[in-house]
Amino acid sequence: MKGYNLLIFLISFTVAFLGQQDTVHVHLIPHSHDDYGWIFSIQELYNNPSPFKGQGAVKNILNSVFTEVQKSPFRKFNQVEIGYLDIWWDSLTEEQRDTYKSLVQSGQIEILNGGWVMHDEATAYFEDIIENMTVGHLWVQDKLNITPTVGWQIDPFGHQNSNAALYSQMGLNAQWFARIDYQDYAQRSQNKEFEMIWSPEQNSGEQNYIFSAVNYKHYSPPQNFSFETDQPVTKQNIAQKAQEFVQYFQTMNQYYRGKHLLHTMGDDFAYSKANIYYENMDLLMEYINSHNDQYNMKILYSTPSNYLKELQKQNESYPVNKYDFLPYADKASAYWTGYFTSRPSIKGFTKDSGRYLQAIRNIFSVESILKISNQFKNNYQDIFKALQNFEQQVAMMMHHDAITGTERQKVAYDYIQRLNNGYSLIRDQLHPLLQEYTEKQINEKDIDYVQCNWNATITQCDITQQQLSQGLPVLLMIYNPSTTRQQLTRIKVPPISLLVLNVENSQIAADVICSNPQDDNDCDLYFVDKFEGYSFQYYKIKINVEKNSIVKPLKKEQSSDQINIDLSQSQSLSIDTMTLNFTLSTREKKQIKNDHIKSNKFFSQKHHSSKTKKSFQSSFQIQYNFYMSSTEVHQPSGAYVFRPAQTPNMPYSEIKSATVYQGEVVTVVLLDGTKTTTQLRFSSIYPQKQVCEVETFIHSIDVDDGIGKEVVMLINTNYKNDRKFFTDSNGLELQQRQINYRNTWVLNQTDPVSGNYYPIGAIIGLEDTQTKQRVLVVNDRSQGGTSLNEGEIEIMIHRRTLKDDDKGVSESLNEFDDIKPKQGLQQKVRHYIIFEKEKESTGRLIQNHLDSANQIFISKTSKKKFQLSQDFNNLFENSPLVSNKNPYLRVYLKQFEDYYTLRLYNIHDFENAEFKLDSKFQILDELTLTANQSKQAMLQNKYKWKADDGQIFQPSIQSNLDQEKQTNSMTIKPLQLRVFKISFVD
């Protein structure tokens, strides 16, 4: 007993003693959160103070901080948005730039994140995130000669696993964020779990990890200490102020491990009067630090990097987190799940621009190696600038108030205009280049290319309308930015019987289908061909005088509601026109051989042949429903928040008729609904796979009844998924989701619909627990979705609300249409429904095909036939890209002054991909994802962390790089992204 007492005594003594000794260090983080466009446009925000209290113009913030930081070596500042820094940079003299650079070099100013903007995480796509971060990281490397090491995602409304993994691979040692679910926050505070080692599970087996910290109080200062607006510190009140400040951190200290605390000291557009902030903090700091015996606390200006250095010296351990922070609610019934879908047209445009950028940058980079054109040689500088400009505009769209759709309407217009300008600058460089290629390849001059949007109607695609209606031919030049593949090409045409010629002047099977119930003149021409990888192909479209290629709708036989169609030898479709049930069947190749003779009759006997039993059969139905937006004062539905007024959802658009067009290359089923028009397309370009393209035109959402509406697409299957489904993470790893469940905390579900919504960047799906077969839906832009009922996938495709949701934008999400200005925004969206067997990864193939869609250029032509003077010359045959034969592997080449970067992204879920680099290239190094440093160097500098269970997180440094350098061939693991620096040996 005695010994025990002594032990207790010793322990308490030690604790008391250490308590005295171990001063709490408070790292104040001066920062300003400067949204890159939100309520006001970028230029407005840069030039003018906003009407909100204490919020200054960005240029004043940058100027003011610059002046104040120079006054004392102890003062620190943390700069985030590079997009603004870039504008400001232009206003500085060389001398000022040098000074700023030296402040950054000495660590007085730290660059956090270092991306062009602080990107959104839920709705941004991985390629765009990398793009944006790369643009910013290369900027700071160029101008300031540093590599950022800290992530700063303090405002985005939810945090993804992929983002954590990407940040780890960008060489960031840690990241901070603010917004996590209020219930999660409460539980973390109890367990001292605001700081953690975030290590997402990865298919590749790669162990990415990043120290991640949730801010204690949003990203603000302690209450009453926003010095630009709050009471200043004076001689009279300093003792009391100091006491209050110290007490705040003593409380905070109870929720953290160790003796160092980090706290933000700043806010939205703060520090335009930086002197006020710094002078007050100086006073407080001096006072508290000189009364250490009384407070046992040291306050210092700091940066996250300094803080991390201190943590590294402590011997603390941290909890490990494997899961994402989605969805986000800041209080009951305030789930920020509406913005997953808000402003579908901006989301679509952003994604298309990102894809366009990747495709054309490859063209320019290959040109820079092959040196085919004069256009490139003569305009090299302009092209480089235009590309860079376009990269920056695409990066801009990643801002968490841009792609999210949570900006004000006029800001949305400003974004679109900027992106459009960037687009037309680069297009004006690209088209002359393509025209030169055309002359070389098919001997045609006077070509003038245009592009028509995939979502256009015939009235918006002048070129085909005018030419073909006059009986004149058009020329198509098609760039395939992927591996060799069969593709279905679709272009807008008037209702005319047409034929398609390839460069050999052979006719290719083609269908003209007029399936727009609103416009009889709005037709599509479809043809299927094999496209050589990373190359150009040409086609002529002209009037077909011999045969009518316009496909007539199928007449239903009176006796049956069932229509059976062969899509290919191994694929078939059957449609029940009454129940609108679609059934896809595929059979294994081997069986077809045995069964060759019977193959045409396959459908009529599908229920008894023993061979057909082995076929893979899947059924689905599509339906459009809606939720009424809540207008309840405590929390209405709006740009950010999705809150239905009542559940479950209700029928939105009744399908009036189903019309089937069975062409030679495609079967189109038109579902004419009261408020939607849907086309389902089935073709044979994916042999043995079950894929259906769904294009939905959502008519203007009617709010004349004063009720906001949120429209969902429901896909029903007979799969048994037991409340589980999955969604991708920024287009990458699939995350398991479960209804009314969170992985790391006990959920009290207040909102059974919106609290189960997750962002879909590319894929949502569910798996049958018995058969392990999966149904997936791949989307063309980011959206929100869930699976509330057994076998059902729900995706929100459009929304129009009439109330502001009180999250800051102060405007309702009420978009009007460009074409019908008095009505709500109409929108065409595309999805692919895919059924796949275990580990098949067909969904990823489709995701890749959408992301690397063929780019179609259309021109008038005076020649009805191709007249080549020699054999067709595939100019890009020696491009280093063509060695890629793996349809899951993305290969991007980007030119720099004296080297190239090669980015290799393998988006297969399960299999490795190999890439063999042309021998004219030499691998110099492997780089981090943002290409701003050597990967090996980054790994060597990466911090180690100790987990609560004793596990040590540290980088694995061994690599195959030496071998890869020797063999010029590289292995990319499932869902792995790698970047190489390579040189071209001419």
Ligand X SMILES: *[C@H]1O[C@H](CO)[C@@H](O)[C@H](O)[C@H]1NC(C)=O
Binding site for ligand X (CB under 6 A): 113, 115-119, 124, 128-129, 131-133, 136, 345, 348-349, 352, 395, 398-399, 453, 455, 826-828
Nearer to ligand X, 128 or 436 (CB): 128
Nearer to ligand X, 353 or 667 (CB): 353
Exposed (0-12), middle (13-18) or buried (19+): which is 580, by Cβ within 10 Å? middle
Nearer to ligand X, 33 or 273 (CB): 33
Nearer to ligand X, 132 or 847 (CB): 132
Report yes or no: 493 and 464 within 8 Å, Cβ to Cβ.
yes
Cα–Cα distance measured from residue 864 to residue 475, given in angstroms and rounded to the nearest whole number: 9
Distances (CA, A) of 917 to 110, 932, 980, 986: 38, 22, 11, 14
Q: 693: alpha, beta or left, given left = phi > 0 and alpha = psi -120 to 50?
A: beta
Look up residue 37 and give its two tokens. Answer: 């466009």
Look up residue 54 and give its two tokens. Answer: 């204490």
Pairing of strands 855-860, 783-786: unpaired
Beta carbon of residue 774, minimum distance to ligand X (angstroms, whole number): 29
Nearer to ligand X, 258 or 348 (CB): 348
- Tokens 């949120």 belong to 710
Q: Which amino acid is at 248?
A: Y
Exposed (0-12), middle (13-18) or buried (19+): which is 418, by Cβ within 10 Å? buried
Cα–Cα distance measured from residue 662 to residue 685, given in angstroms and rounded to the nearest whole number: 15
Report yes or no: 101 and 145 within 8 Å, Cβ to Cβ.
yes
Beta carbon of residue 5, minimum distance to ligand X (angstroms, whole number): 56
Cα–Cα distance measured from residue 968 to residue 544, given in angstroms and rounded to the nearest whole number: 50
Beta carbon of residue 417, minimum distance to ligand X (angstroms, whole number): 12
Q: What is the DSSP string of 526-571?
A: EEEEEE-TT-EEEEEEEE-SSS--BPPBPPPPTT-SEEEEESSSSE
Q: Which of 429, 476, 472, 434 is nearest to 452 (CA)?
A: 476
Look up residue 288 and give its two tokens. Answer: 């508290």
Beta carbon of residue 122, minimum distance to ligand X (angstroms, whole number): 12
Report yes or no: 33 and 154 within 8 Å, Cβ to Cβ.
yes
Beta carbon of residue 18, minimum distance to ligand X (angstroms, whole number): 39
Look up residue 380 and give its two tokens. Answer: 């090299």
Nearer to ligand X, 158 or 533 (CB): 158
Write the CB contacts of 150 (distance below 8 Å, at least 6 apart in sequence).
110, 112, 113, 172, 173, 174, 175, 176, 303, 304, 305, 308
Beta carbon of residue 118, minimum distance to ligand X (angstroms, whole number): 4
Nearer to ligand X, 131 or 751 (CB): 131
DSSP 492: E
Beta carbon of residue 452, minimum distance to ligand X (angstroms, whole number): 11
Residue number with the shortest CB distance to ligand X?
115
Beta carbon of residue 696, minimum distance to ligand X (angstroms, whole number): 10
- Tokens 């706290």 belong to 263
Look up residue 350 and give its two tokens. Answer: 């952003």
Report yes or no: 838 and 782 within 8 Å, Cβ to Cβ.
no
Beta carbon of residue 356, minimum distance to ligand X (angstroms, whole number): 11
Nearer to ligand X, 92 or 416 (CB): 416
Could you tell me which residues are beta bridge partners of residue 836?
A: 774
Beta carbon of residue 466, minimum distance to ligand X (angstroms, whole number): 21
Beta carbon of residue 135, minimum distance to ligand X (angstroms, whole number): 7
Cα–Cα distance measured from residue 410 to residue 423, given in angstroms and rounded to the nearest whole number: 20
Nearer to ligand X, 346 or 477 (CB): 346
Could you tell me which residues are beta bridge partners of residue 798?
A: 711
Nearer to ligand X, 214 or 775 (CB): 214
Look up residue 432 and give its two tokens. Answer: 């002359």
Beta carbon of residue 518, minimum distance to ligand X (angstroms, whole number): 12
The neighbour count for residue 404, using CB atoms within 10 Å, is 29
Nearer to ligand X, 218 or 257 (CB): 218
Nearer to ligand X, 614 or 820 (CB): 820
Beta carbon of residue 134, minimum distance to ligand X (angstroms, whole number): 8
Nearer to ligand X, 130 or 734 (CB): 130
Q: What is the DSSP string of 268-296?
A: ET--TTHHHHHHHHHHHHHHHHTTHHHH-
Write the CB contacts of 357 (distance below 8 Å, at least 6 apart in sequence).
131, 390, 391, 394
Nearer to ligand X, 819 or 957 (CB): 819
Cα–Cα distance measured from residue 231 to residue 40, given in angstroms and rounded to the nearest whole number: 28
Nearer to ligand X, 76 or 830 (CB): 830
Nearer to ligand X, 297 or 850 (CB): 850
Beta carbon of residue 825, minimum distance to ligand X (angstroms, whole number): 7
Cis ω for the linkage preceding 327 (within 30 of 0) = yes
CA quadruple 353, 358, 364, 367: dihedral, nearest 10: -150
Look up residue 531 and give its two tokens. Answer: 């496209």
Nearer to ligand X, 136 or 422 (CB): 136
Beta carbon of residue 80, minimum distance to ligand X (angstroms, whole number): 7
Nearer to ligand X, 826 or 895 (CB): 826
Beta carbon of residue 720, minimum distance to ligand X (angstroms, whole number): 35
Report yes or no: 652 and 625 within 8 Å, Cβ to Cβ.
yes
The neighbour count for residue 740, using CB atoms within 10 Å, is 12
Q: Which amino acid is at 717?
A: T
Report yes or no: 586 and 571 within 8 Å, Cβ to Cβ.
yes
Cis ω for the linkage preceding 974 (within 30 of 0) = no
Cα–Cα distance measured from residue 50 to residue 46, given in angstroms and rounded to the nearest whole number: 10
Beta carbon of residue 345, minimum distance to ligand X (angstroms, whole number): 3
Beta carbon of residue 817, minimum distance to ligand X (angstroms, whole number): 8
